[in-house]
């Protein structure tokens, strides 16, 4: 009988953790938990509630133990991933809702808990913000562990691999990756997931390549298949031939050479070859990321997303709690600036028990961000006071999200002045000249940027929302996501007009969002005249190296050329060609 001939195939996903690996597939498909649905008599409900509380305690102990092991093996940053799991287990609303579910429905504890937790998972899964959407996986992970404990079943991850393998799964949870034996996992490939998933963070920490968002890899790949995983470009080569293996061997050598050069320039300024300086800033969620700012060469914080302090709390944090978080970051990076964005809550971001908004037909166009803050002025003023108090400990800038026009900006600044007067009356010190800016992420704000510039000290262009609103595209809708085109002429013209309006009024303009960290697209926006980029911490070294090795004049020339084009795909191809031309020069 002849041997089966397997042809080479290339599958495309999302590049999530860099590197190249080659090996056999291990299909990791944990069985779904079968949850019993049984009636519980009223007199037995207290025993079910007691069993629920005991399982909460056991699950907490398991997570704390796991967190300690990860801290010892991988580091404190990776261990903090499990903070979110502990917060779920301590969420009073979730606990109380489960107790009520048991009492009101007369069903068993596992069924009741699963029913409640699914509501939380669904709420997070429907959030537009990618980072927050991924947190549904944290809730799913810890709830699965909790259900195992409630039903007396063992919880296994990927710690039992006998041989080196490429893991193929629908998705991978932090618990699955926590007890991996280093060297046994060559790479990860998943149907679901994104660059911000905690499993991807773990993969990067153990330097394992990962390609996620493949949709159907668990159906296309079989145990024992030979695959090559390209974590740089998001490719999976099934049954790679000798020529492909040889090509990737050379490719790995080039990548290692480039990475060494990138790391060697981390501490240097972001200045182009022809002497134009830019500020390369980081996006952060809290004080725990400060160490990484220094390690990756950030020149400040361009976006401190304060809503994460609120989303992970059973109750909204007090003024002192917020002040403490803002102060820690300001002190740690002084004299570099930290730009604190006021709350971007509302619309789809109310899964937490601290606040329940009335349902809205279209939450993305509803009561969110600055609109929510201007309605709940007590909450907003508490945050403004905390930010002002932190301003004496460093170089603090304050920024409002989702400003749609001058009226909202005036009302926000009015409340800021009220907060200042209150602090003056209490004898509390703050930076009287604190710089105040607006995020430009709604087309109406972009079109009136010349008016807003008279009332601001700086602009930050929130590209994710601006593109989404400008092109009427929901990025998370798979059926139309392909229409989300950052190189659409309307996007380039609108961003260019905001930069021009800012510069006309002598204020600096920053760019944040996914395109600000995309090395192919960055030269386009630098050529448009952007002053500052704010990106994920891990992306800083590569963008800094790229800009230090390019001429500003060349980037300006590129932008001038593409502004004459009308096809977004042709514009992207031109930008990609520019990048490839200069990248080959940098690797050599």
**Two structure tokens written together for 132:** 């927050």
Helix, coil or strand: residue 104 = helix
CA distance 368 to 441: 13
Contact 406, 452 (CB under 8 A): yes
List of E strands, 233-328: 235-238, 279-284, 301-305
CA distance 487 to 567: 8
CA distance 518 to 414: 37
Helix, coil or strand: residue 73 = helix
Tell the burial category of 580 from Cβ atoms under 10 Å away from its Cβ (0-12, 13-18, 19+): exposed
CA distance 331 to 14: 36
Helix and strand totals (H; E) in the chain: 24, 16
Indicate the length of the chain as a whole number. Answer: 588
The Cα-based distances of 536 to 43, 233, 278, 300, 510 in angstroms read 54, 18, 16, 12, 14
Q: Which of 389, 400, 278, 292 is nearest to 339 (CA)?
A: 400
CA distance 398 to 226: 52
CA distance 295 to 139: 30
Contact 148, 33 (CB under 8 A): yes
Alpha helices in 316-471 (DSSP H): 319-333, 370-375, 377-390, 406-426, 443-447, 449-453, 463-471
Q: What is the largest CA-CA distance in the chain?
A: 91
Helix, coil or strand: residue 12 = strand
CA distance 93 to 370: 26
Question: Which residues form the catalytic set?
Answer: 198, 512
The Cα-based distances of 353 to 170, 349, 422 in angstroms read 30, 11, 30
Alpha helices in 427-539 (DSSP H): 443-447, 449-453, 463-471, 489-504, 522-528
Contact 81, 63 (CB under 8 A): no
Contact 316, 355 (CB under 8 A): yes
Contact 249, 229 (CB under 8 A): no
CB count within 10 Å of CB 26 equals 21
CA distance 453 to 499: 10
Tally of CA atoms within 13 A in the half-sphere of 213 that contains its CB: 19
């Amino acid at each position: 009988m002849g041997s089966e001939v397997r042809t080479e195939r290339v599958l495309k996903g999302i590049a999530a953790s860099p590197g190249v690996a080659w090996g056999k597939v291990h299909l990791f498909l944990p069985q779904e938990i079968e949850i019993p649905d049984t009636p519980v008599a009223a007199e037995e409900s207290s025993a079910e509630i007691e069993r629920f509380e005991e399982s909460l305690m056991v699950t907490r102990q398991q997570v704390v133990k796991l967190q300690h092991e990860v801290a010892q093996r991988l580091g404190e940053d990776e261990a903090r991933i499990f903070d979110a799991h502990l917060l779920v287990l301590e969420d009073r609303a979730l606990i109380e809702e489960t107790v009520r579910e048991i009492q009101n429905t007369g069903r068993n504890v596992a069924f009741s808990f699963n029913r409640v937790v699914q509501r939380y998972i669904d709420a997070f899964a429907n959030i537009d913000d990618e980072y927050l959407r991924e947190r549904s996986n944290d809730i799913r992970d810890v709830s699965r562990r909790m259900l195992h404990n409630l039903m007396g079943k063992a919880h296994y991850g990927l710690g039992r691999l006998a041989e080196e393998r490429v893991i193929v799964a629908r998705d991978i949870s932090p618990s699955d990756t926590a007890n991996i034996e280093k060297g046994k996992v060559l790479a990860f490939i998943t149907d679901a997931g994104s660059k911000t998933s905690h499993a991807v963070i773990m993969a990067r920490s153990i330097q394992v390549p990962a390609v996620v968002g493949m949709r159907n890899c668990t159906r296309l790949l079989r145990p024992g298949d030979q695959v090559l995983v390209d974590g740089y470009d998001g490719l999976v080569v099934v049954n790679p031939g000798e020529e492909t293996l040889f090509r990737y061997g050379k490719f790995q050598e080039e990548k290692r050479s480039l990475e060494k050069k990138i790391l060697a320039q981390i501490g240097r300024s972001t200045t182009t070859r022809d002497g134009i300086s830019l500020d390369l800033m980081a996006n952060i969620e809290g004080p725990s990321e400060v160490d990484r700012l220094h390690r990756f060469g950030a020149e400040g914080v361009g976006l401190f997303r304060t809503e994460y302090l609120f989303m992970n709390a059973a109750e909204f944090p007090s003024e002192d709690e917020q002040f403490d978080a803002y102060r820690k970051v300001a002190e740690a990076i002084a004299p570099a600036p930290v730009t604190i964005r006021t709350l971007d809550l509302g619309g789809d971001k109310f899964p937490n028990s601290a606040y329940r908004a009335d349902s809205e037909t279209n939450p993305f166009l509803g009561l969110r961000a600055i609109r929510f803050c201007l309605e709940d002025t007590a909450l907003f003023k508490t945050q403004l006071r905390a930010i002002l108090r932190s301003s004496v400990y460093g170089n603090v800038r304050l920024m409002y999200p989702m400003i749609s026009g001058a009226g909202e900006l005036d009302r926000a600044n009015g409340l800021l002045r009220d907060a200042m007067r209150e602090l003056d009356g209490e004898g509390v010190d703050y930076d009287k000249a604190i710089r105040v800016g607006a995020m430009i992420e709604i087309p109406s704000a972009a079109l009136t940027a010349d008016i807003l510039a008279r009332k601001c000290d700086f602009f930050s262009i929130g590209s994710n929302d601006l593109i989404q609103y400008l092109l009427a595209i929901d990025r998370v809708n798979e059926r139309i996501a392909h229409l989300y085109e950052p190189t659409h002429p309307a996007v380039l013209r609108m961003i260019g007009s905001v930069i021009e309006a800012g510069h006309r009024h002598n204020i600096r303009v920053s760019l944040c969002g996914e395109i600000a960290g995309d090395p192919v697209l960055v030269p386009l926006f630098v050529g448009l005249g952007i002053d500052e980029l704010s990106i994920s911490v891990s992306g800083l070294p590569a963008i800094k190296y790229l800009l230090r090795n390019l001429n500003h004049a060349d980037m300006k020339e590129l932008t001038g050329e593409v502004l004459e084009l009308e096809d977004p795909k042709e514009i992207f191809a031109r930008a990609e060609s520019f990048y490839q031309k200069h990248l080959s020069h940098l690797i050599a």
